[in-house]
Chains A and B, each alone.
Chain A
Amino acid sequence: MFAIVLTGFVIAGMCAGIRLLQGPTLADRVVALDVALVTLMGAVAARAAESGDSSYLSLLIVIAIVGFTATVAASKFVESDSRSDLENH
Chain B
Amino acid sequence: MSPIATVFLLAGSLVAVLAGIGLLKFSTPYARFHAAGKASPVAFILVAVGAGIELGWASSALLFVAVAAMVLTLPVGVHLLFRAVHRATPGDHLVVDELRVAERLIERND
Contact = CB atoms under 8 A, between A and B. Distances in A.
A12 B44 CA distance: 12
B41 A38 contact: yes
Given A48-B51, A61-B65, A67-B74, A39 B20 contact: yes
Contacts of B50: 45-46, 49
Contacts of A38: 16, 19, 40-41, 43-44, 70, 74
Given A31-B32, A35-B20, A65-B73, A42 B13 contact: yes
B99 interface: no
B81 A15 contact: no
Given A39-B16, A54-B55, A68 B73 contact: yes
A46 B29 contact: no
Given A15-B24, A39-B20, A78 B54 contact: no
Contacts of A83: 88, 90
B106 interface: no
Most central of B33, B47, B87 by chain A CB within 10 Å: B47
A21 to B, nearest CB: 11
B58 A9 contact: no
A8 B16 CA distance: 7
Given A41-B44, A41-B66, A49-B1, A31 B51 contact: no
Contacts of A32: 23, 36
A46 B9 contact: yes
A20 B25 CA distance: 13
